[in-house]
Chains A and B, each alone.
Chain A
Amino acid sequence: MIRRSFLVFVVLAVGYGLFLRFVQVDWDTTQHLANGNRIKAERFVYGADVPDATVIVGSSLAYRIVLDSMPDGTTNLGFGGLSIYDGLTLVERSGKAPARVLIETNVLFREPDHGFLKALFEPGLYEVRREVPMMQEENQPSGVLFGWLKQRLLNERGTDDGADSTAVPNAVMMDEHRTNYALLPADSTNQRFLAMLERDVLSLEARGVEVIFFEVPIEPELMNSTLAVKSRSLIEARFPGRSFIRSNERWRTTDGLHLDKRDAQRFSGWLAASLRNS
């Protein structure tokens, strides 16, 4: 039984390897947030160097930035549930030197996810994944199957109009955000995170990378909350002379924090224009 099981395994592995080799899987294979994070990270670390590249690092707020509107060669390392420090670590450990790095400043006080980074750079598996595409996250059969089905359905029904069904932020979520944004971390915590950020920024700048800070718009009430105001002032005080892009316009969110699809698209265009002007 064991021998025959391994035979079936080999046939499937070879067959799937050939499928990936000869069929261009260019549809979105994302299955969930964590899987989407991993796909982005693998594409970045295994991908070729791009001249004049721009890299966005951030949280789930930056996750929604639409690359179609951004300059060519932009990579979005905005990770849902993760932090800017994860994105900055990826830039550093990949050895790549993009022309500029955009750092989201909304979520400064979130720890890096060591589990995420450890799993990505696990010795042995990291190298195997580079050489064997079927072991990369974006080629998981379940994601490929769903992406293919989704693409077919969209082709039949027309493209997504980009609108979210909820125009008003969820009240319970807003209450949670209000509570969280009214709290300030202790000074020692602030300083620890800022020191970590400063170390990463100086390291990038030493490699000739331009660093630009930006803030993703959230509900106005939260934009003016204790935490948001403090974060802004800490960044400006710690990193004088750097560009800091921020919009005073009103934007629509789904839950108070995350831009809805239409405004994510609009904000991406606005950010691209601001970059051109900066």
Chain B
Amino acid sequence: MLFNSVPFLLLVIPTLLLYYAPFMRRYQLHVIIAASFIFYAYNAPMLLLLLIASVAINIVASHAVVFGKPALHKAYATAGVVLNLVVLVFFKYSPLIGRTFLPDTSIGEFLVAIPLPVGISFFTFQGISLVVDAYRGKDVPHYGSIVVKGMVEHTLRITTFISFFAQLVAGPVVKAHEFLPQIKTKYFREINWNAAFAALVVGYFLKMVVADNLKDQTFWIAFPYFTGIHSVTLLVLLFGYSMQIFADFAGYSLIAIGLARLFGYVLFDNFNFPYISATFSEFWRRWHISLSTFLREYLYIPLGGNRMGGFHTYKNLMLTMVLGGLWHGAAWSYAVWGFFHGLMLAVERLFKDLGWSTKEKLPRFIHMLFTFSMVTLAWLLFKLPDFNHVIGYMQAIFGNTGGSDIQPLLLFFVLLFSAPVVLYHLLYLWTRTPRSAMAAMKPVLYGVMLFLILVNSGSGASFIYFQF
């Protein structure tokens, strides 16, 4: 079920009314769980069984980690993490394993045919976060409240945490220590309407007006169409795809944040104006923050982080980024994408260690432009999963300088629908020092966005991050 569909509205409005009805206060978690199961099962009811199985694994594992035999706590935690990874690897990476290592075999065919359940990367990562946070609870005081002793209450809390429809299928990746302490009775009067409204309007605008309209223009990046397109148009299309992927995912995250607000939960910002980043490390502090912090907390630091220095730091960095890349999709191009980002981060770190930083020597704008260009170039690996096509696209950028049209129609609309993302970032830079004009302008901007959502939305489509 898509956030921008009529069935979703028909689900969320009655759910909200029921959730805040005074006679339902004791059953608020039940209401969220029921709505979340309907939401998940809407397109593929059978996959709900997988979600329930995943939830069950994490209920049992997290409870055992805290209340099982103390000598076995670590074993329970390890088993919980491994089971989550097994579920993820089996459903997400079996086709890749089948295609790569077992082509033309019956096992390979079986593996390739395994369906990819929507949102599996998100809910298994949340499961890992739960088990690990529960295990760390004995060392971190405020993690202690994550797991409660009563099994019924624990089941309700964990099912809500993992299956909450706002963040179930495309994140943000919510950590157990961020979400579970927020579970308590919620009251209608406590809703932060302004925050929810702002997140929902900007989110729907980015998704429905910007991303969905750009999607139909950047369609031409696909093979073989790009081979006949002029270099200038290819560059503009790539720029447009960079804007599209931001608008699509940041839009989805904002809708999730806004919806969670309506139900009394605060999900942390997932994007913080990433395209103003002057370095790759800054980019990863601003892009998909919930994933980058997850990878840092649950992978990079446990691997040793930068504690052992030198080679080990670079190795941990590369490993984290390659696995982070593969998390995005079961294709080697995603691993290459992760490797590229890991390499850029490693080079940045090396330059810093050697004292070769250009931070003071060149204006920030130049750094921003360089980082944006490299990030945008790497998005090509998302759009064209076949590596040969990526190379072909690069060749076409340099080679298609004559012959074919520049296609003004395409350029006009790519730039027109990219403009809101550019303005969104520029406004942020402009308003980092508070400006009264901006406060007055806000209702006008929200009004314009609402109007455009109504009359200028693109053709509906899945969110890009659904495939992850």
Interaction A to B = yes
Q: Is B283 an interface residue (CB 8 A)?
A: no
A140 touches B456 (CB 8 A): yes
Q: Is B86 an interface residue (CB 8 A)?
A: no
B448 touches A34 (CB 8 A): no
Q: Is B216 an interface residue (CB 8 A)?
A: yes
Q: Is B447 an interface residue (CB 8 A)?
A: yes
A125 touches B6 (CB 8 A): yes
Which has the most chain B C-beta neighbours within 10 Å: A5, A12, A176? A5
Chain B residue with Cβ nearest A167: B403
A146 contacts which of B197, B412, B444, B459 (Cβ < 8 Å)? Answer: B412
With known contacts A142-B213, A172-B227, A5–B454 Cβ distance under 8 A: no
Chain A residue with Cβ nearest B229: A170
Q: How far is the CA of A38 from the CA of B457 in the complex (A)?
A: 13
B450 contacts which of A9, A16, A122 (Cβ < 8 Å)? Answer: A9
With known contacts A4-B443, A124-B6, A142-B417, A35–B448 Cβ distance under 8 A: no
B444 touches A8 (CB 8 A): yes
A5 touches B455 (CB 8 A): no
User: What 1/0 flags go to B428-463 for Cβ under 8 Å of A?
Assistant: 000000000000001110111011101110111000
B455 touches A6 (CB 8 A): no
Q: Is B217 an interface residue (CB 8 A)?
A: yes
Q: How far is the CA of A123 from the CA of B9 in the complex (A)?
A: 13
With known contacts A6-B447, A165-B404, A172–B455 Cβ distance under 8 A: no
Q: Min CB distance, B420 to chain A, in Å?
A: 11
Q: Is B243 an interface residue (CB 8 A)?
A: no
The residues of B that contact A94 with a CB separation of less than 8 Å are: none
Question: Which residues of B in the span 208-256 have a Cβ within 8 Å of any Cβ on A?
Answer: 213, 216-217, 219, 224-225, 227-228
B216 touches A34 (CB 8 A): yes
A142 touches B413 (CB 8 A): yes
A142 touches B454 (CB 8 A): no
Q: Min CB distance, A157 to chain B, in Å?
A: 12
B224 touches A172 (CB 8 A): yes
Q: Is B297 an interface residue (CB 8 A)?
A: no
The residues of B that contact A134 with a CB separation of less than 8 Å are: 454-455
Q: How far is the CA of A79 from the CA of B402 in the complex (A)?
A: 29
B228 touches A170 (CB 8 A): yes
Q: Is A173 an interface residue (CB 8 A)?
A: yes
The residues of B that contact A146 with a CB separation of less than 8 Å are: 409, 412-413, 416
The residues of A that contact B213 with a CB separation of less than 8 Å are: 31, 142
Q: Is A13 an interface residue (CB 8 A)?
A: yes
A12 touches B451 (CB 8 A): yes
Q: Is A7 an interface residue (CB 8 A)?
A: yes
The residues of B that contact A184 with a CB separation of less than 8 Å are: none
B197 contacts which of A5, A124, A135 (Cβ < 8 Å)? Answer: A5
B451 touches A9 (CB 8 A): yes
Question: Which residues of B in the span 177-194 have a Cβ within 8 Å of any Cβ on A?
Answer: 193-194
A176 touches B224 (CB 8 A): yes
Q: Min CB distance, B198 to chain A, in Å?
A: 8
Q: Is B153 an interface residue (CB 8 A)?
A: no
B227 touches A173 (CB 8 A): yes
With known contacts A5-B447, A119-B460, A146-B413, A255–B228 Cβ distance under 8 A: yes
Q: How far is the CA of A119 from the CA of B451 in the complex (A)?
A: 20
Question: Which residues of A in the span 89-141 have a Cβ within 8 Å of any Cβ on B?
Answer: 115, 119, 122-125, 134-135, 139-141
The residues of A that contact B403 with a CB separation of less than 8 Å are: 165-166
The A interface, classified by DSSP as helix, strand, loop or mixed, is helix
Chain A residue with Cβ nearest B396: A172
Q: Is B201 an interface residue (CB 8 A)?
A: yes
Q: Is A237 an interface residue (CB 8 A)?
A: no
User: What 1/0 flags go to B48-75 for Cβ under 8 Å of A?
Assistant: 0000000000000000000000000000
The residues of A that contact B216 with a CB separation of less than 8 Å are: 31-35
Chain B residue with Cβ nearest A165: B405
Q: Is A196 an interface residue (CB 8 A)?
A: no
B442 touches A1 (CB 8 A): yes
B227 touches A170 (CB 8 A): yes
Q: Min CB distance, A218 to chain B, in Å?
A: 16
B456 contacts which of A142, A165, A170 (Cβ < 8 Å)? Answer: A142
Q: How far is the CA of A140 from the CA of B286 in the complex (A)?
A: 33
A135 contacts which of B198, B447, B455 (Cβ < 8 Å)? Answer: B455
A140 touches B224 (CB 8 A): no
The residues of B that contact A255 with a CB separation of less than 8 Å are: 228
The residues of A that contact B404 with a CB separation of less than 8 Å are: 165-166
A13 touches B454 (CB 8 A): yes
Q: Min CB distance, B408 to chain A, in Å?
A: 9
Q: Is A2 an interface residue (CB 8 A)?
A: yes
B413 touches A173 (CB 8 A): no
Q: Min CB distance, A253 to chain B, in Å?
A: 12
The residues of A that contact B198 with a CB separation of less than 8 Å are: 1
B447 touches A12 (CB 8 A): yes
Q: How far is the CA of A1 from the CA of B224 in the complex (A)?
A: 48
Chain A residue with Cβ nearest B447: A8
Q: Min CB distance, B442 to chain A, in Å?
A: 6
User: What 1/0 flags go to A249-261 for Cβ under 8 Å of B?
Assistant: 0000001000000
Q: Min CB distance, A233 to chain B, in Å?
A: 28
User: What 1/0 flags go to B197-209 for Cβ under 8 Å of A?
Assistant: 1100100000000
Q: Min CB distance, B398 to chain A, in Å?
A: 16
The residues of A that contact B451 with a CB separation of less than 8 Å are: 8-9, 12-13, 16
Q: How far is the CA of A268 from the CA of B446 in the complex (A)?
A: 47
Q: How far is the CA of A277 from the CA of B438 in the complex (A)?
A: 68
Q: How far is the CA of A119 from the CA of B217 in the complex (A)?
A: 19
Q: Min CB distance, A116 to chain B, in Å?
A: 8
Q: Min CB distance, B230 to chain A, in Å?
A: 10
Q: How far is the CA of A176 from the CA of B403 in the complex (A)?
A: 20
Q: Min CB distance, B229 to chain A, in Å?
A: 10
Q: Min CB distance, A80 to chain B, in Å?
A: 10
With known contacts A122-B6, A141-B456, A5–B217 Cβ distance under 8 A: no
Q: Min CB distance, A40 to chain B, in Å?
A: 14
The residues of B that contact A6 with a CB separation of less than 8 Å are: 447, 450
A34 touches B459 (CB 8 A): yes
User: What 1/0 flags go to A1-27 for Cβ under 8 Å of B?
Assistant: 110111111011100100000000000
Residue numbers of B with Cβ under 8 A of A are 6, 193-194, 197-198, 201, 213, 216-217, 219, 224-225, 227-228, 403-405, 409-410, 412-413, 416-417, 442-444, 446-448, 450-452, 454-456, 458-460
Known: A31-B213, A35-B458, A119-B459. 5 other contacts (CB 8 A): A2-B194, A5-B442, A7-B443, A12-B448, A170-B227
CB-defined A-B contacts under 8 Å, sample of 16:
A1-B442, A1-B443, A5-B446, A11-B447, A12-B451, A31-B216, A34-B219, A115-B460, A122-B6, A124-B6, A134-B454, A140-B455, A142-B413, A146-B412, A170-B224, A173-B225
Q: Can you list the 7 inter-chain pairs with the closest CB atoms, starting with the nearest?
A: A8-B447, A4-B443, A5-B446, A172-B227, A170-B228, A12-B451, A9-B450
